[in-house]
Amino acid sequence: MEYFTNVKKVKYEGIDSKNPLAFKIYNAEEIIGGKTMEEHLKFSVAYWHTFAEELTDPFGSGTAIRPWDNITDPMEKAKAKVEAAFELFDKLNVPYFAFHDVDIAPEGESLKETFENMDIIVDLIKEKMETSKTKLLWNTVNNFSHPRFVHGAASSNNADVFAYAAAKVKKGLEVGKKLGSQSYVFWGGREGYESLLNTDMGLEVDNLGRFFHMAIDYASKIGYEGQFLIEPKPKEPTSHQYDFDVATTHAFLQKYNLDDKLKFNIEANHATLAGHSFEHELRYARINKMLGSVDANQGHPLLGWDTDEFPSDMYATTLAMYEILKNGGLEKGGLNFDSKVRRTSFEPEDLFRAHIVGMDSFALGLKVAHKMIEENVFENIIDKRYKSFNEGIGKDIVEGNTDFDKLTEHALNLKEVKNESGQLEVIKGVLNQYILQALSGK
Binding-site annotation, residues for Mg(2+) = 231, 267, 270, 295, 306, 308, 338
> What residue number has its CB nearest to ligand XLS?
187
What kind and span of H or E run contains 240? Answer: strand 240-241
Q: How far apart are CA 219 and CA 174, in angstroms?
A: 8
Answer yes or no whether residue 245 interacts with ligand XLS by CB under 6 A: no
Answer yes or no whether residue 267 interacts with ligand XLS by CB under 6 A: yes
Sign of CA dihedral 325, 300, 196, 185: negative
| Bridge partners (DSSP) listed for residue 291 | 264
Q: Which is nearer to ligand XLS, 140 or 249 (by Cβ)?
A: 140
Answer yes or no whether residue 309 interacts with ligand XLS by CB under 6 A: no
Binders of ligand XLS among residues 186 to 205 (CB under 6 A) are 187
The alpha carbon of 143 is separated from its chain's Cα centroid by a whole number of angstroms, namely 18
The alpha carbon of 288 is separated from its chain's Cα centroid by a whole number of angstroms, namely 17
Assess whether 103 carries a catalytic annotation: yes
Contact 363, 25 (CB under 8 A): yes
Q: How far apart are CA 379 and CA 374, in angstroms?
A: 10
Residue 310: DSSP 8-state: P
Binders of ligand XLS among residues 54 to 113 (CB under 6 A) are 100
**CA 91 to each of CA 5, 22, 29: distance values in angstroms, whole numbers, following the listed order:** 11, 11, 16
Identify what 185 binds: Ca ion, ligand XLS, none; CB under 5 to 8 Å per kind: ligand XLS
Smallest gap from Cβ 139 to ligand XLS, in A, equals 10
Q: Which is nearer to ligand XLS, 231 or 281 (by Cβ)?
A: 231
Smallest gap from Cβ 335 to ligand XLS, in A, equals 13
Assess whether 100 carries a catalytic annotation: yes
Smallest gap from Cβ 306 to ligand XLS, in A, equals 5
Q: Which of 40, 49, 101, 103 is catalytic?
A: 103
Identify what 238 binds: ligand XLS, Ca ion, none; CB under 5 to 8 Å per kind: none
User: What b/e sequence results for 295-308 when a residue is b if at least 16 CB atoms lie within 10 Å of its CB, and e otherwise?
Assistant: bbbbbeeeeeebbb
Smallest gap from Cβ 388 to Ca ion, in A, equals 41
Binders of Ca ion among residues 255 to 294 (CB under 5 A) are 267, 269
Smallest gap from Cβ 426 to ligand XLS, in A, equals 37
- The size of the interface with ligand XLS (CB under 6 A), counted in residues, is 10
Would you tell me how many other CB atoms lie within 10 Å of the CB of residue 166?
18
Answer yes or no whether residue 295 interacts with Ca ion by CB under 5 A: yes
- The stretch near Ca ion (CB under 5 A) out of 63-71, 166-174, 338-346, 371-379 is 338-346
Annotated binding site: 231, 267, 270, 295, 306, 308, 338
Name the region of 28 (left: φ>0; alpha: ψ -120 to 50; beta: rest).
alpha
Contact 227, 331 (CB under 8 A): yes
Smallest gap from Cβ 56 to ligand XLS, in A, equals 15
List helix spans (H) across 277-423.
Answer: 278-287, 314-326, 348-374, 377-385, 392-398, 404-413
Q: How far apart are CA 104 and CA 115, in angstroms?
A: 12
Identify what 280 binds: ligand XLS, Ca ion, none; CB under 5 to 8 Å per kind: none
The alpha carbon of 203 is separated from its chain's Cα centroid by a whole number of angstroms, namely 29
Out of 174, 279, 281, 295, the residue judged to bind ligand XLS by CB under 6 A: 295
Rg (CA), the chain: 24
Q: Catalytic amino acids?
A: 100, 103
Instruction: Note the residues at the interface with Ca ion (CB under 5 A).
Output: 267, 269, 295, 306, 308, 338
Instruction: Note the residues at the interface with ligand XLS (CB under 6 A).
Output: 100, 140, 185, 187, 231, 233, 267, 295, 306, 338
